[in-house]
Structure 1
Amino acid sequence: METATVESRTQGAPGAFAAFARFVVCGGGTGIAASFAVAGLAAWLPWALANALVTVVSTLLATELHARFTFGAGGRATWRQHTQSAGSAAAAYAVTCLAMLLLQQLVAAPGAVLEQAVYLSASALAGVARFVMLRMVVFARGRAKVPDGVRAAGCLPRTADRAALCRAA
């Protein structure tokens, strides 16, 4: 019965295309909302600080959405997943900051539309890299952790003792 439960969860995981489409909806929706939040907060705070605050909040929200919907993890994100996701978000933060700093160096007084276009383009580029990281590492579902012989035998162990029994089978 445990095997059927684990296998059904694994079979319920979306393929790469479906996961990317869900990632775009969840992450893109969060990113667009974040871009407006950054623009609004930047009126009162330095842009880098506004971006940092919005990045933290949007990363927590997006990680939960990705755990529950994008990658079909079947529940809330774990602290480990939040921590790993934060690493990819830190890289995305660096990319968006660098893009905005370059824009400020190249254009003396960029308008709001140009700023939004640059920010969203940098976010999209960072988002593709983030998708790969989340899919291959953060929400990988431990496929590599279960030996092929054990999986083929239909025996998915929970403990080291059961793992030894399954290998012997």
Structure 2
Amino acid sequence: MRGNPGAPGAVASFARFVLFGGGVGVASSTAVAGLAGLMPWAVVNALITVASTLLSTELHARFTFGAGHAGWRQHWQSAGSAMVAYVVTSTAVLVLHLVQPSAGVLYEQVVYLAAAGLAGIGRFLVLRLFVFAGGRTRTMEWVMRPVPARETGATVSLSFPVPAL
């Protein structure tokens, strides 16, 4: 069902992204905090990131962007953006522990959620503009004309798809 003309607009998509992505993010954050005592934080974050990415990609495909079931291509592309989010959240928590070695769970969660929120905005843009763009692309044409002093009559036209917001 890609390219669904009934797919939500940018504002509705973002609201749904925040709802579904935020819900999965809060659940993930809770799971990371609960499991961090059993194994290293980075390992827990990696495991939870994989599970939450699978879930959120499917939710975003169906409800956020109206694209139907997410295929393998969308899952792999979403995983790439999730990997960037993993690096951002892990780096943020690592920096917190370097700056404040005795930071407790509360500070850890604040830093984690803030980093996840920033990474989430980037993920929304990637998912909307590239992963689930479907039929929402338009063509932008650039025309380069010769300089008037060198009248040759030649014109070069470049055309490429541009994702629509």
Instruction: Return the TM-score normalized by structure 2.
Output: 0.80
Superposed CA offset, 1:126-156 (max 9, x none): 0000000000000001333x879xxxxxxxx
Structure 1: gaps spanning 5 or more residues:
149-169
Q: Distance in 2 between matches of 1:40 and 1:92?
A: 20
Q: Which runs of 4+ in 1 moved over 3 A?
A: none
2:43 equivalent among 42, 49, 55 = 49
Aligned to 2:128: 135
**Higher percent of residues as helix:** 1
Find out whether 1:13 has 2:7 as its counterpart. Answer: yes
Partner residue, 2:22: 28
- Write the mapping of 1:83-94 to structure 2, written as runs, cut at 5 A: 83-94=76-87
RMSD, aligned CA: 1.8
CA offset at residue 91 of structure 1? 0.1
Q: Structure 2: which 5+ runs fail to align?
A: 141-165
| Deviation (angstroms), 1:67 | 0.5
SS at match of 2:66: coil
Match of 1:95 among 74, 85, 88: 88
Q: What TM-score, normalized to structure 1?
A: 0.79
Q: In the TM superposition, what is the alpha-carbon distance from 1:6 to its structure 2 partner?
A: 8.3
CA contact (8 A) 2:2 2:135 kept: no
User: Comparing both structures, which one devotes a greater share of its residues to strand?
Assistant: 2
Deviates more, 1:120-129 or 1:135-144: 135-144
